[in-house]
Amino acid sequence: MRFFWLIIFLFPLSLAAQTFPVDAASGKIYYAEEVLVKDGPLLDLYHRGKNWLVARKNKKAVQVDDLANGVLIGSSSSSFSMRQVNKNQSYQLWYTLKLQMEDDRYWYSLTDFQVQPVPAPGNSVPAKSPENKKPLEKMILPAQAAKQNKQEEVWRQSFEAAAHSCITTLIQDLKKSMN
């Protein structure tokens, strides 16, 4: 019986907040890593990175294209959804990716995350309206989130888990494409 109560009390802890890396200077969520690639010449890594960024379905994805210095910077988005009051709500997660490459290694950084709700079919709100984008930090970081009631806190934790899953999937996909 004690085991049962232990499980009941620990279960909410499993829904606890994800840990997002936050840049101390800017206060923004920031993912960065150096990745070693065996037999990965700069030119190959550059083309893999550019192909991955362009394949994100955003025609203006590449903002800085510098093969000589091994640098690519671009913005794109990825979608995720979560269950909200008996329906699924979809979101676009916008981000900026910076790739710095040299032979056998690359560095990536993901920053400037913004979230935009995707309206349900038949909704009159334009999906691509820039005023609908909100910084991810304002939606999930406890220090920036307003005081919330229990229901809002549960929603925030669910949203946070869905956004975290989207970002980790994005990073895994990038690494897979770069290797």
Q: How far apart are CA 94 and CA 112, in angstroms?
A: 8
Tens-level pLDDT at each residue, the chain (179 residues): 444 333 333 334 444 456 789 988 998 999 999 999 998 899 999 999 999 988 877 667 888 999 999 999 999 999 998 877 777 889 999 999 999 999 999 999 999 999 999 887 655 555 555 568 999 998 887 655 556 677 778 888 889 999 999 999 999 999 999 99
Q: Residue 15 domain-assigned?
A: no
SS3 call for 9: helix
Q: Residue 161 domain-assigned?
A: yes
Q: Residue 11 domain-assigned?
A: no
Give the CA distances from residue 136 to residues 104, 113, 133, in Å, rounded to whole numbers and listed in that order.
Answer: 33, 6, 9
Q: Residue 83 domain-assigned?
A: yes
Tokens of 144: 């920036």
pLDDT computed for residue 126 by the predictor: 53
Number of domains in the chain: 1
- Structural domain including 58 reads 20-178
pLDDT computed for residue 95 by the predictor: 94
pTM score of the predicted model: 0.80
Q: Residue 1 domain-assigned?
A: no
SS3 call for 49: helix
Q: How far apart are CA 133 and CA 75, in angstroms?
A: 14
Q: Residue 136 domain-assigned?
A: yes
Q: Residue 12 domain-assigned?
A: no
CATH number at residue 142: 3.30.530.80
Q: Residue 109 domain-assigned?
A: yes
